[in-house]
Amino acid sequence: MNTKENTSEEIDLGQLFKLIGNAINTFFNRIAFILKTIFHLFIVTLLFFKGHFLKFSLATFLGVGVGGYIDYTASPLYKSVMIIQSNFNSTRQLYSNIDFYNQLVKNQETKELSEVLHISQSIAKSIKNIEITGVSDEIQKLKQFGEFIKNLDSVTLKNVDYQDYLQEFNDINAEFHQEVQIEATAPETAKQCQKGIVTSIENNEYFKLQKKVNEDNIMVIDSMIKKQQREINKLQSFYKEIRLLEAQQPVGATNINLTDNKIERISEIELFNQIKKLKEEEVKLNIEKAKTKSTVNIISEFPERGILKNDFFSKKIIQMPLFFISGLFLILIMYVFNKYLANYTK
């Protein structure tokens, strides 16, 4: 009986090791097949370029020649950047305005562009591109997400996820900074456009009203804080007078203390805490005053002269050879594929 059991166990172990061995062989065979396939594709690619080496060389030289000529004859391009902060939900209007200006640039409508930006037509003609992007990092996004969930009820909060919030986040949601960039053939163009871009938002009647309402609200809050501070100062003075009267009384005289000492001490501590709280609110209010003084806050102005745009990959002498080589590659691939299909049908 024991002999049969041992034989059965040996057979089971043998089958197990055989299955493991087959699995290992299959795994390594697949890896070898993948490596062979990659090597085969690499060799085929090399043979393809070797067979058409002269064509690709000609496309490269042609691209360098055309790109070099375009770079030589083209006017230099200057880039300027302005960092701004928009208030009173004016970000969308700002984006809309910039898109409108850029559309005028693309359509070469220099007269209308000069009118809306209050610049000369020669300056308007020198503009080649205007764009705006949001400047936001992970810390800012986390802060905005924290402010966003503060106003949500507990039921809605359960269904809100930070990753979902990031998917819906776009440049317009960037609460703090927006980057306005102008590319022009004249270095001083952007500086002359700065006032027109900002005033287009400042002169909007809706934002004027929002700014006035905000100023009125700040004045109300400021007056309330000052009133509370005066009342606390009066109460402190009252406590001081009580203590002076108590100190001036002769020994054994009737105590005129209006409240228990413990309660008085607690009240004074609360007063100090309230004073501290009011000071903090006053500081926050002053920051809010500075932040909302204008509809658009200019964090960093356009420089007096733009920086010459001389990026390596923006040069035509680099772009044109890549364009010619890519075009030739697609044409040859289509030719080879068409030839393969013709042979396949036979």
**Residues recorded for the chain:** 346
pTM: 0.65
User: Distance between alpha carbon 126 and the CA centroid of its chain, in Å?
Assistant: 29
Distance, in Å, from the CA atom of 285 to the CA atom of 222, rounded to the nearest integer, reads 7
Reduce the DSSP state of residue 312 to 3 states and report it: helix
Provide the residue-wise pLDDT of the chain in tens; the chain has 346 residues.
555 555 555 556 667 777 887 888 888 889 999 999 999 999 988 888 888 899 999 999 999 999 888 888 877 889 999 998 888 888 888 999 999 999 999 999 999 999 999 999 999 999 999 999 877 656 666 666 666 666 666 666 666 665 665 555 555 555 556 789 999 998 899 999 999 999 988 888 888 898 899 989 989 988 898 888 888 888 777 777 777 776 676 655 555 554 544 445 446 677 778 888 888 888 888 888 888 888 888 888 999 998 888 777 778 888 899 999 999 999 998 988 888 888 877 6
Q: What is the DSSP string of 237-255?
A: HHHHHHHHHHHHSPTTSPP
188's tokens: 């001083």
Q: Where are the alpha helices (DSSP H) in the chain?
A: 2-51, 53-73, 91-106, 110-117, 121-126, 138-150, 154-158, 162-168, 189-202, 205-248, 261-291, 316-345
Distance, in Å, from the CA atom of 130 to the CA atom of 194, rounded to the nearest integer, reads 12
One-letter amino acid of 120: S
Q: How many CB atoms lie within 10 A of CB 172?
A: 15
